[in-house]
Structure 1
Amino acid sequence: MQVKLTTSRGDIVINLHDEQAPQTVANFLDHVRSGHYDGTIFHRVIKGFMIQTGGMDADMRSRPGGGPIRNEANNGLNNLTGQVSMARTSDPHSASAQFFINTNDNLFLDFKAETADGWGYCVFGEVSAGMDVVRDIESTKTTRKGGHADVPVEPIEIRQAEILDS
Protein backbone atom coordinates (compact mmCIF):
# COMPACT_ATOMS: atom_id res chain seq x y z
CA MET A 1 0.00 0.00 0.00
CA GLN A 2 1.17 3.54 -0.74
CA VAL A 3 0.40 7.01 0.55
CA LYS A 4 1.14 10.18 -1.40
CA LEU A 5 1.97 13.37 0.45
CA THR A 6 1.29 16.38 -1.75
CA THR A 7 3.49 19.08 -0.20
CA SER A 8 4.16 22.70 -1.03
CA ARG A 9 7.54 21.51 -2.36
CA GLY A 10 6.33 18.52 -4.41
CA ASP A 11 5.04 14.98 -3.96
CA ILE A 12 6.44 12.25 -1.72
CA VAL A 13 5.20 8.66 -2.12
CA ILE A 14 5.58 6.27 0.80
CA ASN A 15 5.41 2.47 0.55
CA LEU A 16 3.99 1.14 3.81
CA HIS A 17 5.40 -1.88 5.66
CA ASP A 18 2.06 -3.24 6.85
CA GLU A 19 3.38 -6.75 7.46
CA GLN A 20 6.23 -5.60 9.73
CA ALA A 21 4.34 -2.77 11.48
CA PRO A 22 0.60 -3.55 11.18
CA GLN A 23 -0.65 -1.47 14.12
CA THR A 24 1.51 1.52 13.17
CA VAL A 25 0.44 1.40 9.51
CA ALA A 26 -3.23 1.09 10.52
CA ASN A 27 -2.84 4.14 12.79
CA PHE A 28 -1.10 6.11 10.02
CA LEU A 29 -3.83 5.22 7.50
CA ASP A 30 -6.53 6.26 9.98
CA HIS A 31 -4.85 9.69 10.19
CA VAL A 32 -4.62 9.89 6.38
CA ARG A 33 -8.31 8.96 5.96
CA SER A 34 -9.45 11.50 8.56
CA GLY A 35 -7.55 14.34 6.85
CA HIS A 36 -5.37 14.85 9.93
CA TYR A 37 -2.18 15.45 7.94
CA ASP A 38 -3.73 17.93 5.49
CA GLY A 39 -2.49 21.38 6.48
CA THR A 40 0.27 20.18 8.80
CA ILE A 41 3.81 21.44 8.25
CA PHE A 42 7.29 20.00 8.43
CA HIS A 43 7.96 21.57 11.82
CA ARG A 44 11.36 20.02 12.58
CA VAL A 45 14.05 19.82 9.90
CA ILE A 46 17.61 18.83 10.75
CA LYS A 47 20.05 18.48 7.85
CA GLY A 48 21.87 15.15 7.87
CA PHE A 49 19.30 13.63 10.24
CA MET A 50 15.56 13.82 9.42
CA ILE A 51 12.48 15.87 8.54
CA GLN A 52 9.47 15.65 10.89
CA THR A 53 5.79 16.43 10.34
CA GLY A 54 2.27 15.45 11.28
CA GLY A 55 1.54 17.45 14.39
CA MET A 56 1.55 21.20 13.83
CA ASP A 57 0.01 23.79 11.57
CA ALA A 58 1.75 26.87 10.10
CA ASP A 59 0.98 28.86 13.28
CA MET A 60 2.82 26.19 15.31
CA ARG A 61 -0.42 25.06 16.95
CA SER A 62 -0.43 21.40 17.92
CA ARG A 63 -2.92 19.21 16.18
CA PRO A 64 -4.09 16.41 18.51
CA GLY A 65 -3.15 13.05 17.05
CA GLY A 66 -5.30 10.66 19.04
CA GLY A 67 -4.19 8.13 21.60
CA PRO A 68 -0.74 6.55 21.67
CA ILE A 69 0.04 3.25 19.99
CA ARG A 70 2.33 0.40 20.97
CA ASN A 71 5.86 0.74 19.64
CA GLU A 72 6.58 -1.85 16.93
CA ALA A 73 10.25 -0.90 16.49
CA ASN A 74 11.22 -4.52 17.22
CA ASN A 75 10.12 -5.41 13.66
CA GLY A 76 13.60 -5.88 12.17
CA LEU A 77 13.51 -2.69 10.07
CA ASN A 78 16.24 -0.07 10.35
CA ASN A 79 16.19 3.73 10.37
CA LEU A 80 18.05 4.06 7.08
CA THR A 81 17.95 6.94 4.60
CA GLY A 82 14.45 7.26 3.14
CA GLN A 83 12.77 5.14 5.81
CA VAL A 84 9.72 6.63 7.51
CA SER A 85 9.37 6.27 11.29
CA MET A 86 7.02 7.32 14.06
CA ALA A 87 8.03 10.22 16.28
CA ARG A 88 7.44 9.89 20.00
CA THR A 89 8.33 11.36 23.38
CA SER A 90 10.72 9.72 25.85
CA ASP A 91 7.94 7.21 26.54
CA PRO A 92 8.61 4.40 24.03
CA HIS A 93 4.87 3.79 23.53
CA SER A 94 3.77 7.42 23.03
CA ALA A 95 3.65 7.72 19.22
CA SER A 96 0.34 8.92 17.82
CA ALA A 97 0.44 10.96 14.59
CA GLN A 98 3.82 12.64 14.11
CA PHE A 99 6.35 10.92 11.88
CA PHE A 100 9.71 11.60 10.30
CA ILE A 101 11.65 10.69 7.20
CA ASN A 102 15.28 9.72 7.80
CA THR A 103 17.69 11.72 5.63
CA ASN A 104 20.68 9.74 6.86
CA ASP A 105 21.35 6.23 8.14
CA ASN A 106 20.27 6.72 11.78
CA LEU A 107 20.96 3.28 13.21
CA PHE A 108 21.16 4.73 16.73
CA LEU A 109 17.35 5.11 16.49
CA ASP A 110 16.85 1.36 15.94
CA PHE A 111 15.35 -1.12 18.40
CA LYS A 112 17.90 -2.68 20.76
CA ALA A 113 15.88 -4.04 23.69
CA GLU A 114 12.43 -3.83 25.28
CA THR A 115 13.64 -1.24 27.80
CA ALA A 116 12.94 2.49 28.13
CA ASP A 117 16.27 3.33 26.45
CA GLY A 118 16.29 0.42 24.00
CA TRP A 119 12.94 0.57 22.21
CA GLY A 120 13.98 2.90 19.42
CA TYR A 121 11.70 4.38 16.75
CA CYS A 122 9.36 2.27 14.64
CA VAL A 123 10.06 2.20 10.91
CA PHE A 124 6.74 1.70 9.11
CA GLY A 125 7.41 2.84 5.54
CA GLU A 126 9.91 4.04 2.99
CA VAL A 127 10.01 6.78 0.39
CA SER A 128 9.56 5.19 -3.03
CA ALA A 129 9.28 8.46 -5.00
CA GLY A 130 10.08 12.05 -4.16
CA MET A 131 13.38 11.67 -2.35
CA ASP A 132 14.42 14.82 -4.25
CA VAL A 133 11.55 16.63 -2.47
CA VAL A 134 12.75 15.22 0.86
CA ARG A 135 16.27 16.54 0.12
CA ASP A 136 14.83 19.93 -0.85
CA ILE A 137 12.94 20.12 2.45
CA GLU A 138 16.03 18.96 4.34
CA SER A 139 18.13 21.80 2.87
CA THR A 140 15.69 24.57 3.80
CA LYS A 141 16.77 27.35 6.16
CA THR A 142 15.46 26.91 9.71
CA THR A 143 14.89 29.11 12.75
CA ARG A 144 13.24 29.07 16.18
CA LYS A 145 9.48 29.62 16.26
CA GLY A 146 6.86 29.19 18.95
CA GLY A 147 9.37 27.70 21.37
CA HIS A 148 10.57 25.14 18.81
CA ALA A 149 13.98 24.85 17.16
CA ASP A 150 14.75 23.67 13.61
CA VAL A 151 11.53 25.10 12.13
CA PRO A 152 11.68 26.03 8.43
CA VAL A 153 11.68 29.82 7.96
CA GLU A 154 9.10 29.41 5.19
CA PRO A 155 6.39 26.89 6.15
CA ILE A 156 6.45 23.66 4.16
CA GLU A 157 2.96 22.21 4.20
CA ILE A 158 1.40 18.85 3.53
CA ARG A 159 -1.50 20.02 1.38
CA GLN A 160 -2.99 16.53 1.12
CA ALA A 161 -2.21 12.99 2.22
CA GLU A 162 -3.99 10.30 0.22
CA ILE A 163 -3.99 6.53 -0.12
CA LEU A 164 -2.96 5.50 -3.64
CA ASP A 165 -4.02 1.85 -3.51
CA SER A 166 -5.67 -0.46 -1.05
Structure 2
Amino acid sequence: MKKLYVMLAATLLSSNLLAGPKVTLETTLGDIQLELDEEKAPISTANFLNYVDSGQYNGLIFHRVIPGFMVQAGGMDEQMKERATGKPIKNESDNGLSNARGTIAMARTQAPNSATAQFYINTVNNNFLDGAPGRPGYAVFGKVVAGMDTVDKISAVETGSVSYYRDVPLEPIVINRAVRND
Protein backbone atom coordinates (compact mmCIF):
# COMPACT_ATOMS: atom_id res chain seq x y z
CA MET A 1 0.00 0.00 0.00
CA LYS A 2 2.83 2.42 0.86
CA LYS A 3 4.36 1.78 -2.57
CA LEU A 4 1.03 2.73 -4.19
CA TYR A 5 0.97 6.06 -2.30
CA VAL A 6 4.54 6.83 -3.34
CA MET A 7 3.71 6.02 -6.97
CA LEU A 8 0.56 8.19 -6.82
CA ALA A 9 2.48 11.11 -5.30
CA ALA A 10 5.20 10.80 -7.96
CA THR A 11 2.56 10.73 -10.70
CA LEU A 12 0.84 13.83 -9.33
CA LEU A 13 4.13 15.72 -9.06
CA SER A 14 5.31 14.74 -12.53
CA SER A 15 1.96 15.57 -14.13
CA ASN A 16 2.00 19.03 -12.55
CA LEU A 17 -1.41 18.49 -10.93
CA LEU A 18 -0.08 19.96 -7.70
CA ALA A 19 1.16 23.12 -9.41
CA GLY A 20 -0.53 26.47 -8.88
CA PRO A 21 -2.79 28.29 -11.33
CA LYS A 22 -1.21 29.29 -14.63
CA VAL A 23 -1.78 32.50 -16.58
CA THR A 24 -0.48 33.44 -20.02
CA LEU A 25 0.27 37.05 -20.87
CA GLU A 26 -0.03 37.31 -24.64
CA THR A 27 2.15 40.31 -25.50
CA THR A 28 3.21 42.00 -28.71
CA LEU A 29 6.71 40.56 -28.18
CA GLY A 30 5.59 36.99 -27.35
CA ASP A 31 3.86 34.98 -24.66
CA ILE A 32 4.84 34.78 -20.99
CA GLN A 33 3.42 31.89 -18.98
CA LEU A 34 3.20 32.38 -15.22
CA GLU A 35 2.62 29.88 -12.44
CA LEU A 36 1.14 31.44 -9.33
CA ASP A 37 1.78 30.28 -5.76
CA GLU A 38 -1.62 30.39 -4.10
CA GLU A 39 -0.33 28.40 -1.12
CA LYS A 40 2.34 30.95 -0.07
CA ALA A 41 0.67 34.06 -1.53
CA PRO A 42 -3.10 33.48 -1.44
CA ILE A 43 -4.11 37.16 -1.28
CA SER A 44 -1.83 38.31 -4.11
CA THR A 45 -2.75 35.30 -6.25
CA ALA A 46 -6.50 35.80 -5.80
CA ASN A 47 -6.09 39.52 -6.51
CA PHE A 48 -4.11 38.89 -9.72
CA LEU A 49 -6.56 36.22 -10.92
CA ASN A 50 -9.51 38.58 -10.32
CA TYR A 51 -7.85 41.15 -12.57
CA VAL A 52 -7.07 38.47 -15.19
CA ASP A 53 -10.67 37.20 -15.14
CA SER A 54 -12.11 40.72 -15.42
CA GLY A 55 -9.98 41.54 -18.48
CA GLN A 56 -8.18 44.32 -16.57
CA TYR A 57 -4.79 43.57 -18.15
CA ASN A 58 -6.02 43.29 -21.75
CA GLY A 59 -4.69 46.24 -23.72
CA LEU A 60 -2.35 47.51 -21.00
CA ILE A 61 1.37 47.99 -21.61
CA PHE A 62 4.67 47.30 -19.94
CA HIS A 63 5.05 50.90 -18.85
CA ARG A 64 8.29 50.70 -16.86
CA VAL A 65 11.33 48.80 -18.07
CA ILE A 66 14.67 48.98 -16.28
CA PRO A 67 17.35 46.67 -17.75
CA GLY A 68 19.20 44.70 -15.09
CA PHE A 69 16.27 45.10 -12.70
CA MET A 70 12.66 44.42 -13.76
CA VAL A 71 9.79 45.01 -16.21
CA GLN A 72 6.50 46.43 -14.86
CA ALA A 73 2.92 46.34 -16.17
CA GLY A 74 -0.68 46.26 -15.07
CA GLY A 75 -1.55 49.90 -14.75
CA MET A 76 -1.21 51.98 -17.92
CA ASP A 77 -2.63 51.94 -21.43
CA GLU A 78 -0.74 53.09 -24.53
CA GLN A 79 -1.58 56.74 -23.77
CA MET A 80 -0.09 56.31 -20.27
CA LYS A 81 -3.53 56.66 -18.73
CA GLU A 82 -3.95 54.68 -15.55
CA ARG A 83 -6.78 52.18 -15.53
CA ALA A 84 -9.06 52.16 -12.45
CA THR A 85 -8.42 49.37 -9.94
CA GLY A 86 -9.97 47.78 -6.90
CA LYS A 87 -8.92 48.32 -3.31
CA PRO A 88 -5.32 47.74 -2.19
CA ILE A 89 -4.41 44.36 -0.73
CA LYS A 90 -2.43 43.23 2.29
CA ASN A 91 1.30 42.88 1.70
CA GLU A 92 2.46 39.25 1.71
CA SER A 93 6.22 39.85 1.48
CA ASP A 94 6.77 37.64 4.54
CA ASN A 95 5.71 34.50 2.63
CA GLY A 96 9.21 33.06 2.13
CA LEU A 97 9.31 33.73 -1.64
CA SER A 98 12.24 35.80 -2.90
CA ASN A 99 12.48 38.39 -5.68
CA ALA A 100 14.66 36.11 -7.80
CA ARG A 101 15.08 36.28 -11.57
CA GLY A 102 11.88 35.19 -13.27
CA THR A 103 9.55 35.77 -10.33
CA ILE A 104 6.45 37.96 -10.47
CA ALA A 105 5.65 40.32 -7.60
CA MET A 106 3.17 43.03 -6.69
CA ALA A 107 4.22 46.62 -7.36
CA ARG A 108 3.24 49.13 -4.71
CA THR A 109 3.92 52.62 -3.41
CA GLN A 110 5.99 53.35 -0.29
CA ALA A 111 2.98 52.22 1.78
CA PRO A 112 3.36 48.46 2.33
CA ASN A 113 -0.35 47.61 1.87
CA SER A 114 -0.91 49.65 -1.31
CA ALA A 115 -0.64 47.06 -4.12
CA THR A 116 -3.59 46.86 -6.50
CA ALA A 117 -3.18 45.69 -10.13
CA GLN A 118 0.39 46.57 -11.05
CA PHE A 119 3.00 43.83 -11.05
CA TYR A 120 6.59 43.35 -12.13
CA ILE A 121 8.78 40.50 -13.30
CA ASN A 122 12.32 40.38 -11.93
CA THR A 123 14.95 40.12 -14.67
CA VAL A 124 17.76 39.55 -12.14
CA ASN A 125 17.93 38.48 -8.51
CA ASN A 126 16.57 41.43 -6.50
CA ASN A 127 16.74 40.00 -2.99
CA PHE A 128 16.96 43.53 -1.55
CA LEU A 129 13.23 43.83 -2.40
CA ASP A 130 12.38 40.95 -0.05
CA GLY A 131 10.78 41.63 3.29
CA ALA A 132 12.79 41.43 6.49
CA PRO A 133 11.75 41.61 10.15
CA GLY A 134 10.40 45.11 10.71
CA ARG A 135 10.72 46.03 7.00
CA PRO A 136 8.01 45.00 4.56
CA GLY A 137 9.21 44.14 1.07
CA TYR A 138 7.54 43.46 -2.25
CA ALA A 139 5.35 40.35 -2.35
CA VAL A 140 6.37 37.63 -4.79
CA PHE A 141 3.40 35.47 -5.82
CA GLY A 142 4.62 33.34 -8.72
CA LYS A 143 7.20 32.74 -11.41
CA VAL A 144 7.67 32.62 -15.16
CA VAL A 145 7.55 29.00 -16.33
CA ALA A 146 7.76 29.73 -20.07
CA GLY A 147 8.61 32.85 -22.02
CA MET A 148 11.53 34.23 -20.04
CA ASP A 149 13.05 34.96 -23.46
CA THR A 150 10.10 37.32 -24.03
CA VAL A 151 10.76 39.01 -20.67
CA ASP A 152 14.40 39.44 -21.69
CA LYS A 153 13.29 40.98 -25.03
CA ILE A 154 11.10 43.44 -23.13
CA SER A 155 14.01 44.27 -20.82
CA ALA A 156 16.20 45.12 -23.83
CA VAL A 157 13.92 47.66 -25.55
CA GLU A 158 14.79 51.33 -25.85
CA THR A 159 13.11 53.50 -23.21
CA GLY A 160 12.62 57.20 -22.56
CA SER A 161 10.38 59.65 -20.76
CA VAL A 162 6.71 60.28 -21.39
CA SER A 163 5.39 63.25 -19.47
CA TYR A 164 6.74 62.70 -15.95
CA TYR A 165 7.08 58.91 -16.40
CA ARG A 166 10.58 57.54 -16.93
CA ASP A 167 11.81 54.20 -18.28
CA VAL A 168 8.85 53.91 -20.68
CA PRO A 169 9.39 51.75 -23.79
CA LEU A 170 9.47 54.01 -26.86
CA GLU A 171 7.50 51.36 -28.80
CA PRO A 172 4.56 50.15 -26.69
CA ILE A 173 4.70 46.53 -25.53
CA VAL A 174 1.05 45.62 -25.18
CA ILE A 175 -0.52 42.81 -23.18
CA ASN A 176 -3.05 41.83 -25.84
CA ARG A 177 -4.68 39.38 -23.49
CA ALA A 178 -4.11 37.78 -20.09
CA VAL A 179 -5.78 34.39 -19.79
CA ARG A 180 -5.92 31.53 -17.29
CA ASN A 181 -4.56 28.18 -18.39
CA ASP A 182 -6.08 25.94 -15.71
TM normalised by structure 1 equals 0.97
Cα pair 1:65 1:98 within 8 Å, conserved: no
Q: Any unmatched runs of 5+ in structure 1?
A: none
More helix by share: 2
Distance in 2 of aligned mates of 1:125 and 1:68: 19
User: How do 1:28-107 and structure 2 match up within 5 A?
Assistant: 28-107=48-127
Matching of residue 127 in structure 1 with residue 147 in structure 2: no
Distance in 2 of aligned mates of 1:3 and 1:146: 32
Cα root mean square deviation, aligned: 0.5
Which residue does 2:7 correspond to in 1? none
Which residue does 2:180 correspond to in 1? 163
Superposed displacement of residue 147, structure 1? 1.2
> How many residues are matched?
162
SS at match of 2:62: coil
Superposed displacement of residue 145, structure 1? 0.5
Q: Any unmatched runs of 5+ in structure 2?
A: 1-20
User: 4+ runs of 1 displaced by more than 2 Å?
Assistant: none
TM normalised by structure 2 equals 0.88
Which residue of 135, 140, 144 maps to 2:157?
140
| Matched AA of 2:126 | N
Superposed displacement of residue 65, structure 1? 1.8
User: Could you say which structure has the larger radius of gyration?
Assistant: 2
Which residue does 1:152 correspond to in 2? 169
Q: Taking CA–CA contacts closer than 8 Å with sequence separation of 6 or more, which of the two structures ends up with the larger relative contact order?
A: 1
SS at match of 2:38: coil
- Identity between Structure 1 and Structure 2 (%): 52
